[in-house]
């Protein structure tokens, strides 16, 4: 079943593909792909390493710049390493990092960002999964119409709704608070879509068995469906984390008090003023990207399982 196809023809409950989750997963782990010959493997490695250079060079430049002194950033011939522009001697420095960490409110901003992701991500996982489960597995009147409404919201350009959304958030008394950052993002149509595709692939007999045992829908959702959805939830976790960790515009318009600033807002000060300070901006970017890499490393195995099981494959 394709993700796409299910949009217009939502299948009835119980017709989900009969793929056996358990054996599929373990089968994939055991299997070595294709048994490619050495020559092909070598070619693949060479091409990939070429790709790595392309993918990595900008990242390396970001890290290198974060260790440069201001006068060594723009050299007549581009210089990857933090060396002195005139003498070519090593001139790397930690000063940029110290300056970033010394930013007024950096620690507070870090804490605020952590609060936002720690509250927001479990919250949206729960709300999105609840809705996605119902859209996928529970027959109820008007279900497809409601789902289409959710889907259509993906196609609305976000910048156009910024001002009305600020008005709504302020009317609800959440202006200038972390709640105003968190609550409006608690539901994501895209994630509901993704999770629904996953729930559609769950085998129906598990639910049937639970129902015969007298379990209600909430119980089935909580103890049967949700544990099986861990891989898909991992996808939502990492994509949401990246998005909200780096998000600038919404917190910017909704927050005024600097004590409530999130990390991207605090780092914005580094790019403020007309004097560009790439060495500081890059140090800030490196600090900001660290947790994202950590999250990616932790969840990447699950992501692969997750994306595969989101109903993209028959």
Stretch that binds another protein, among 39-47, 90-98, 202-210 (CB under 8 A): 39-47
Give, as ranges, the residues between 161 and 200 that touch another protein (CB under 8 A): 161-179, 182-184, 186-187, 189, 192
Shorter beta-carbon distance to another protein: residue 24 or 90: 24
Give, as ranges, the residues between 82 and 141 that touch another protein (CB under 8 A): 85-86, 99, 102-104, 115, 118-119, 122-123, 126-128, 130-131, 133-135, 138-141
Stretch that binds another protein, among 87-95, 202-210, 262-270 (CB under 8 A): 262-270
The residue within the footprint of another protein, chosen from 22, 78, 214, 227 (CB under 8 A), is: 78
Task: Output the smallest distance, CB 90 to another protein, in A.
Answer: 19
CA–CA separation, 143 and 246 (whole Å): 34
Task: Output the smallest distance, CB 37 to another protein, in A.
Answer: 9
Contact (CB, 8 A) for 284 and 100: yes
The residue within the footprint of another protein, chosen from 14, 15, 26, 59 (CB under 8 A), is: 59
Outline where 67-188 has alpha helix (H). 95-101, 106-137, 143-152, 158-171, 178-182
Task: Output the smallest distance, CB 88 to another protein, in A.
Answer: 14
Based on the shown chain and the rule CB under 8 A, indicate whether residue 64 belongs to the binding site for another protein: no
Based on the shown chain and the rule CB under 8 A, indicate whether residue 210 belongs to the binding site for another protein: no
CA–CA separation, 245 and 116 (whole Å): 8
Based on the shown chain and the rule CB under 8 A, indicate whether residue 207 belongs to the binding site for another protein: no
The residue within the footprint of another protein, chosen from 7, 95, 110, 206 (CB under 8 A), is: 7
The residue within the footprint of another protein, chosen from 10, 110, 228, 277 (CB under 8 A), is: 277
Based on the shown chain and the rule CB under 8 A, indicate whether residue 204 belongs to the binding site for another protein: no
CA–CA separation, 191 and 211 (whole Å): 27
Outline where 157-277 has alpha helix (H). 158-171, 178-182, 189-200, 204-212, 217-220, 226-228, 230-246, 249-254, 263-268
CA dihedral (30, 33, 38, 44) positive or negative: negative
Q: If DSSP codes are grouped into helix, strand and coil, which group holds residue 83?
A: strand
Q: Cβ-count burial of 254 within 10 angstroms (0-12 exposed, 13-18 middle, 19+ buried)?
A: buried
Shorter beta-carbon distance to another protein: residue 94 or 171: 171
CA dihedral (161, 162, 168, 169) positive or negative: positive
Shorter beta-carbon distance to another protein: residue 107 or 149: 149
DSSP 8-state assignment for residue 94: S
Largest CA distance in the chain: 79
The residue within the footprint of another protein, chosen from 240, 244, 270, 299 (CB under 8 A), is: 270
Shorter beta-carbon distance to another protein: residue 94 or 294: 294
Contact (CB, 8 A) for 280 and 102: no
Based on the shown chain and the rule CB under 8 A, indicate whether residue 298 belongs to the binding site for another protein: no
Strand partners, 226: none
Based on the shown chain and the rule CB under 8 A, indicate whether residue 229 belongs to the binding site for another protein: no
The residue within the footprint of another protein, chosen from 209, 219, 230, 298 (CB under 8 A), is: 219
Based on the shown chain and the rule CB under 8 A, indicate whether residue 242 belongs to the binding site for another protein: yes
Strands (DSSP E) found in 73-224? none
Stretch that binds another protein, among 43-51, 88-96, 202-210 (CB under 8 A): 43-51
Contact (CB, 8 A) for 279 and 66: yes
Alpha carbon 65 to chain centroid distance?
Answer: 26
């Amino acid at each position: 079943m394709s993700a796409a196809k299910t949009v217009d023809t939502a299948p009835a409950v119980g017709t989900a593909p009969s793929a056996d989750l358990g054996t599929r997963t373990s089968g994939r782990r055991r299997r070595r792909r294709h048994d490619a010959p050495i020559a092909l493997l070598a070619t693949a490695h060479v091409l990939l390493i070429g790709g790595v250079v392309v993918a990595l060079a900008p990242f390396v430049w970001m890290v290198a710049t974060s260790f440069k002194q201001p006068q060594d950033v723009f050299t007549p011939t581009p210089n990857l390493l933090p060396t002195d522009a005139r003498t070519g001697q090593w001139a790397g420095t930690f000063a940029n990092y110290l300056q970033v960490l010394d930013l007024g409110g950096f620690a507070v901003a870090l804490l605020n960002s952590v609060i936002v992701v720690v509250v927001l991500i479990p919250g949206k996982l729960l709300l999105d999964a609840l809705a996605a489960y119902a859209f996928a597995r529970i027959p109820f009147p008007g279900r497809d119409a409601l789902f289409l409404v959710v889907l259509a919201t993906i196609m609305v350009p976000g910048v156009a709704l910024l001002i009305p959304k600020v008005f709504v958030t302020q009317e609800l008394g959440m202006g200038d608070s972390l709640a105003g950052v968190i609550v409006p993002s608690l539901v994501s149509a895209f994630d509901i879509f993704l999770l629904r595709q996953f729930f559609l692939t769950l085998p129906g007999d598990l639910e049937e068995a639970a129902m015969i045992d007298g379990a209600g829908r909430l119980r089935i959702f909580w103890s049967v469906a949700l544990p099986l959805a861990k891989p898909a939830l991992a996808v939502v976790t990492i994509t949401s984390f990246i998005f909200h960790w780096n998000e600038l515009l919404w917190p910017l318009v909704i927050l005024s008090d600097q004590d409530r600033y999130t990390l991207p807002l605090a780092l914005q000060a580094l790019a403020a003023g007309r004097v560009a300070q790439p060495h500081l901006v890059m140090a800030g970017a490196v600090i900001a990207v660290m947790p994202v890499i950590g999250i990616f490393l932790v969840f990447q195995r699950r992501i692969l399982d997750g994306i595969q099981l989101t109903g993209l494959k028959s």
